Structure 1
Amino acid sequence: MIKDRELVAEMAEDTAPLMTLGTILVIEDDPRMQKVLRRIFTEEHYSILVAGDGQTGLEMFRTERPLAVVLDLILPHLSGRELCQTFKNLSSNIPVIVLSAITEVVDKVLLLELGADDYVTKPFSPRELTARVQAAIRRQRKPTSQEVYRFADCEIDFKKMTAARSGSTVMLTAHEFKLLKFFTENAERVLTRDILLNEVWGYNFYPTTRTVDNQILKLRQKLEHDPANPRHLLTIYGAGYKFVP
């Protein structure tokens, strides 16, 4: 009797609705890789649709309109290249992340020209893959940024790459402009160091979290009236940083 109750409880848990961040469409013909990708994105709280061939993937894309697509290149019926171009023609705002064992630069360039938002090579790091997918989703959601941004007594012209505080010129490096622009585009949002590393530095650079801390310290020294007690570039202990205009 106890075992029966335990079985019912397990079944209820398996069928209970879960809050998800959205649906990821995975188009991959290898059953083992399908299982790996399903686990990776389920653990990140996404709902997963899996297609084992190009034609099924196209039909799912048309009916479901997923949050993002993870796409293998070599598929039955329709190739990944054809699918990528078709997806972007149907809905250019849905990010497509190509996941392939093909490493040739010419193939990566071709896919990007066809509209792919990113290209991850097999074998891959699950952490890097999820970060790249999430970054592509955020880029699509990002509002149009202002060329000239003002907060407190600071004025930043991102197009001309000039900065001033209280009417006096402030010299910022190109990378400081890039970091500050990301902060202004995500004002009031807590940003982890990993997000900043991925979005501002990029995974190919392989910086450390200490790099983030040092860069923010320099921005505070240039833009805050009291860098030791910042009012705009705030540390959220245990989480990351937040920009408050």
Structure 2
Amino acid sequence: MEERIELDTTPSATLGTILIIEDDPRMQKVLRRIFIEEQYAVVVAGDGQTGLDLFRSEHPLAVVLDLILPRISGRDLCQAFKNLSSETPIIVLSAISEVVDKVLLLELGADDYVTKPFSPRELTARVQAAIRRQRRPVGASIYRFGDCEIDFKSMNARRKGVPVVLTAHEFKLLKFFTDNLERVLTREVLLNEVWGYSSYPTTRTVDNQILKLRQKLEPDPANPKHLLTIYGAGYKFVP
């Protein structure tokens, strides 16, 4: 198969370069358009070897990687990329949906896994979240907002100095919110990011969990200041 490389030189694409490795020309165009609209520069490779060469030359901000590729497989590429630059986020995009494949890719170093067909909004949200996680400096594990103090490392929470009992899952949900300050998070994103691949509760589960967090951490749970509902879209955390 003839290799395919497309370079975007749009002046407005200033947030960094996304490397897309995908052998389907139609999907290449779709992915390229998605990230250009988000103000990224884009480089596209149609096979594994070209993708590896572009990774070395372009030093991308993140990689969107198909699994089934000519010349070098997506699995082998994932390992190679992490050996070359462990901090570069790798988001696997594939029609393969078995949980064992997802677990394997995460073990190989992939930062996230999106199954085709996919929502463009979900894909860009996951790529941007992976980029933010890599950029976030390592600091103290204690997070403060309002009259709350949360120690994510020791899993202790206090409000007005009084201990508050949070479940492990409530800590995980709150951590995801604090990692995505003032970003509107859909229920779909929360289900995938916080509940994980092997569990698919209803969207009502998200609503119930947030209701419990409000009851424990908000001064007035009926009129929240931090865990806000964005009607028709999802939720947003404001410190």
- Which bin holds the TM-score, normalised by the shorter protein? 0.7 to 0.9
2:184 aligned partner: 192
Q: Contact between 1:131 and 1:198, CA under 8 Å: does it hold in 2?
A: no
2:88 aligned partner: 94
Matched, 1:78 2:69: no
1:10 aligned partner: none
3-state DSSP of counterpart to 1:39: helix
3-state DSSP of counterpart to 1:143: coil
The Cα of 1:49 is off from its aligned counterpart by: 0.7
Q: CA RMSD in A?
A: 3.2
- The correspondence of residues 60-209 of structure 1 with structure 2, limited to 5 A, is 60-144=54-138, 146-151=140-145, 153-186=147-180, 189-194=181-186, 196=190, 199-201=193-195, 205=200, 207-208=202-203
1:57 aligned partner: 51
3-state DSSP of counterpart to 2:132: helix
Q: Contact between 2:148 and 2:158, CA under 8 Å: does it hold in 1?
A: yes
Compare 233-242 and 108-117 and name the one that shifted more. 233-242
Unaligned runs of 5+ in 1: 1-13
Q: Contact between 1:70 and 1:99, CA under 8 Å: does it hold in 2?
A: yes
Amino acid at match of 1:241: K
Unaligned runs of 5+ in 2: 1-7
Distance 1:156 1:40 in 2: 36
Compare 111-120 and 87-96 and name the one that shifted more. 111-120
Sequence identity percentage:
74
The one-character-per-residue Cα deviations of 1:121-145 (angstroms, maximum 9, x if unpaired) are 3333333333332232222223335
Amino acid at match of 1:136: A
Q: Contact between 1:193 and 1:212, CA under 8 Å: does it hold in 2?
A: no
Q: Contact between 1:182 and 1:200, CA under 8 Å: does it hold in 2?
A: yes
Task: Give the structure with higher Rg (CA).
Answer: 1
The one-character-per-residue Cα deviations of 1:97-153 (angstroms, maximum 9, x if unpaired) are 222333444433332222112223333333333333223222222333533344555
Q: Contact between 1:118 and 1:132, CA under 8 Å: does it hold in 2?
A: yes
3-state DSSP of counterpart to 1:135: helix
1:21 aligned partner: 15
* Distance change >3 Å, CA 121–CA 181, structure 1 → 2: closer
Amino acid at match of 2:155: M
1:40 aligned partner: 34
Distance 1:91 1:16 in 2: 26
Distance 1:15 1:170 in 2: 52
User: Larger helix proportion, structure 1 or 2?
Assistant: 1
* Distance change >3 Å, CA 46–CA 222, structure 1 → 2: same
1:9 aligned partner: none
The one-character-per-residue Cα deviations of 1:55-90 (angstroms, maximum 9, x if unpaired) are 211111111111111112232222222211111011
* Distance change >3 Å, CA 122–CA 217, structure 1 → 2: closer
1:5 aligned partner: none
* Distance change >3 Å, CA 197–CA 122, structure 1 → 2: closer
TM-score for both structures, normalised by structure 1: 0.74
2:238 aligned partner: 243
Distance 2:9 2:48 in 1: 29
TM-score for both structures, normalised by structure 2: 0.76
Distance 1:69 1:16 in 2: 19
Q: Contact between 1:19 and 1:45, CA under 8 Å: does it hold in 2?
A: yes
